[in-house]
Amino acid sequence: MKVLMYIRRDYKDNMAGDSIQLSKTMEYLMKKGLQIEVSSDPRANLEKYDLIHLFNTIRIEDTYQFYRNARRFNQKIVISPIYWNYIKYIELNKRTEILHYKWHQQNKIRKEVLQNVNLILPSSLLEMQEIKKEFEVDIPYRIIPNGVDRIFEEDNRKDFYKLYKLEEFILCVGRISPHKNQLSLSKISNKLKIPLILVGPINDISYYYECLKYNKEIIYVPKVDHHELSSFYSAAKAHVLVSWYEIPGLVSLEAGLSGCNIVTTEDGSTREYFKDFALYSTHENIDDIETKIIKAINSNKNDNLKEHIKSNYLWDVIAEKLIDAYLSII
């Protein structure tokens, strides 16, 4: 089977959830014998492929061009929508009116894509329910959860201790932006006198400096490879990602497989993944976030979440589900 994965041109330079989802999906499908190629060319010749796999309906302009090209070649199309209704979060952004208008305009082409592909691959049932409610979609779907790499099961904490000499800290992995809500963590860590480690690219430099204004002792790590990142998770007792929403937050899966206690947002599909094995809060309730962080740091680690993730969300398991989904339409 020969599959083209179509994704935005900057997916490597501007790393986000769709970047990781594509790269890991591709890696594990190729291990199982599929031929996978990646393109960002909306005019590519698609004749040689059995199937086209699109990613991301939040950044719909690129995806729409890829969809139109796939239709031009009369190709079978599947899509990983990575969708959540952003409209209720736009008011949190400074450019409210512009974003409101743009989101509603884009919904027209989101609807066209989602109503005309051959198969939708949501990462959760809740995501599919959002899509059905918003776009009146009656297309077949298969739930293909987000996955996690086995490397995060390894205990590499010694590598972390060599560099940082910290036993107790708050860890947050993710791009630095208002959506990820690191500002609340900055305020809480300063109040509790517990070090805060932020790992990830800076998407909003003014927001990063605002975080520093409340806590000048933040340890910022711009980029680490997977093996080094697993040492951060191994050493941390608590990983905190109380974003505006997450579906479900790939880093929370990684941290959970490493044995971290998880504090995450309750907005999005997080509960569908983490069940009762995580602590939940909302981005606007800083007092509750603080309470949950204290509880996570003071709780012993256990393997309940780790075993749940191992049973359901390893990439090799996800790859098998995806192959079945591909075969269902070819």
E-strand spans in 1-40? 2-6, 35-39
Domain 2-147+315-329, CATH homologous superfamily name and number: Glycogen Phosphorylase B; (3.40.50.2000)
Distance CA 225, CA 18 (A): 17
How confident is the model over 26-35, as a mean pLDDT? 95
Q: 158-171, pLDDT tens digit by residue?
A: 999 999 989 899 99
Q: Which one has a higher pLDDT value, 35 or 300?
A: 35
Own/partner pairs, 280-283, CB within 8 angstroms, 24+ separation:
281/242, 282/242, 283/181, 283/184, 283/242, 283/243, 283/244
Question: Is it true that 2-147+315-329 and 150-312 share their CATH fold?
Answer: yes
- pTM of the predicted model over 0.85: yes
Q: Please report where in the chains the tokens 């003071």 appear, as a residue.
A: 298
pLDDT exceeding 70 applies to what percent of the chain? Answer: 96
Closest CA to 83 of 43, 120, 30, 46: 120
Domain definitions of the chain by residue range: 2-147+315-329, 150-312
Mean pLDDT of the region 68-83:
97
Vertex 73: Cα angle to 72 and 75 (nearest 5): 115
- What are the pLDDT digits (tens) for 220-266? 999 888 878 999 999 999 999 999 999 998 999 999 999 999 999 99
| pLDDT reading at 97 higher than 70 | no
CATH for the stretch 150-312: 3.40.50.2000
Confidence of residue 19 (pLDDT cuts 50, 70, 90): confident
Judge if the upstream peptide bond of residue 201 is cis by omega within 30 degrees of 0. Answer: no
**Please, which residues have CB within 8 angstroms of residue 287's CB and are 6 or more apart in sequence?**
none
Q: What's the whole-number mean pLDDT along residues 179-189?
A: 97
